[in-house]
Amino acid sequence: MYNLVASPSRRRLLQLLACTPLLNCGSLLAAPSVAERIVALEWRPVELLLALGVMPLAVADLPNYRRWVVEPQLAPTVQDVGLRSEPSLELLQRLKPSLILLSSGFGPNAARIAPLAPQWVSQFSRAPHGPLATTEQDLRALGGLLGREAAAETWLDGMSHRFAEAAQRLHRFREEPLLLFSFLDSRRVMVFGRGSLFADVLARLGLVNAWQGETNAWGSAIIGIEQLAQVEGVRALCFLHGDDDPMREIARAQLWRSIPFVRDNKLHLLPAVWFFGANYSALRFSQLLTLTLEEAA
């Protein structure tokens, strides 16, 4: 039976990732004035802010940030201001932020936050551009707002170089479609297709996304596990988020063992990557994907 929960290759992947840090624009020094008291109420703009070399004063829902986003790590001094959807207005008032970062499509009512401080809103995707191109636009925009244009360009140049390097290393996998998914429970998975951040990264690397079905505004779709049995001729990558219990149950099921990529030993487990992230999530996914496929070759 395929061991869904743990394997030597997964441990090896984590070891390799620890030796391959994500891009860093030097030490995270606070910019003058406005950058000193920035609060992020959504995780996507946290990635943008850290790429500019600015550590936020506070971030919403730190425990789940550490579980779902993982990188970039935040300083111990960063405060938690409550849920992303319902932050503590009392705490925000006490913190006296100079700028509040939000994301469109998710988070608190912007009108309730407006009296507390100026706001800057990032977007997951801005038509006709996909999430990755939108991330690049937003990083430049936030860099301009904070007077860190050079840091934004340095980060983007570095990310472009990393993508080009990964594309070269993964050239042999260009003809093999890749199915990306994560378990929601023992019966359903979330698959990532057109319009997702991961699909944009695959395209940038010259790779093929196996999921060609319909997706929502975030580039994902929720399907039953039985639908995975209909997907043939692919290599699959499953994102884990620290909850292995549903997977232990699934691994014992005859249906799971009959799925082509499980039967053919073409399933690979990846550590957490934030599905709806920005620049760091895109780069983390690229690095994990490269290390995983090279180990499998």
Exposed/middle/buried for 202, CB within 10 Å: 0-12, 13-18, 19+? buried
Intrachain domains 8-18+173-296 and 33-163 with the same fold: yes
| CATH number assigned to the domain covering 8-18+173-296 | 3.40.50.1980
* Rounded Cα distance, 34 and 15, in Å: 38
Given a cut of 60, whether residue 34 has pLDDT beyond it is no
Given a cut of 90, whether residue 127 has pLDDT beyond it is no
Q: If DSSP codes are grouped into helix, strand and coil, which group holds residue 109?
A: coil
**DSSP code at position 72:** S
Q: What is the pLDDT of residue 28?
A: 43
Computed over every residue of the chain, the mean pLDDT equals 88
Q: Beta-strand (E) ranges in 143-247?
A: 178-183, 188-192, 220-224, 235-239
How many Cβ atoms from other residues are within 10 Å of residue 88's Cβ? 15
Q: What is the mean pLDDT of residues 51-65?
A: 96
Given a cut of 70, whether residue 6 has pLDDT beyond it is no
Instruction: Quickly state the pLDDT bin for 32 (edges 50, 70, 90).
Output: very low
* Rounded Cα distance, 150 and 200, in Å: 25
Tokens, residue 198: 């991961």
Q: What is the pLDDT of residue 222?
A: 98
Domain 33-163 has CATH 3.40.50.1980: yes
Which residues is 121 bridged to in the sheet?
102
Given a cut of 60, whether residue 292 has pLDDT beyond it is yes
Q: What is the mean pLDDT of residues 211-215?
A: 94
pLDDT in tens, 235-282: 999 998 776 557 777 877 888 989 999 999 999 999 999 999 999 999
Tokens, residue 153: 């360009």
Tokens, residue 43: 């995780």
End-to-end CA distance of the chain: 21
Please give the residue that has the higher pLDDT: either 142 or 104.
142
Say if CB 179 and CB 211 are below 8 A apart. yes
- pTM score, whole prediction: 0.89
Domain extents in the chain: 8-18+173-296, 33-163
Tokens, residue 5: 């929960």
Say if CB 282 and CB 17 are below 8 A apart. no
**What percentage of the chain exceeds 70 in pLDDT?**
87
Q: What is the mean pLDDT of residues 121-147?
A: 94
How many Cβ atoms from other residues are within 10 Å of residue 76's Cβ? 5
Q: What is the pLDDT of residue 243?
A: 61
The helix (run of H) or strand (run of E) holding residue 103 is strand 99-103
* Rounded Cα distance, 162 and 208, in Å: 19
pLDDT in tens, 139-174: 999 999 999 999 999 999 999 999 999 999 999 999
Q: What is the pLDDT of residue 11?
A: 58
Q: What is the mean pLDDT of residues 198-226?
A: 96
Q: What share of the chain is helix, strand, coil (3-state, %, to 5)?
A: 45, 15, 40
Given a cut of 60, whether residue 4 has pLDDT beyond it is no
Which of 60, 21, 70, 73 minimizes the C-alpha distance to 240? 70
**DSSP code at position 66:** I
Q: Which of 70-74, 107-111, 236-240, 281-285 has the lowest mean pLDDT?
A: 107-111
Q: What is the pLDDT of residue 220?
A: 97
Q: What is the pLDDT of residue 24?
A: 54
Exposed/middle/buried for 66, CB within 10 Å: 0-12, 13-18, 19+? middle
Sign of CA dihedral 7, 10, 14, 16: positive
Q: What is the pLDDT of residue 270?
A: 93
**What percentage of the chain exceeds 90 in pLDDT?**
73
Instruction: Quickly state the pLDDT bin for 36 (edges 50, 70, 90).
Output: confident
Given a cut of 60, whether residue 107 has pLDDT beyond it is yes
Ordered DSSP codes for 249-290: HHHT-HHHHHSHHHHTT-EEEE----TT--HHHHHHHHHHHH
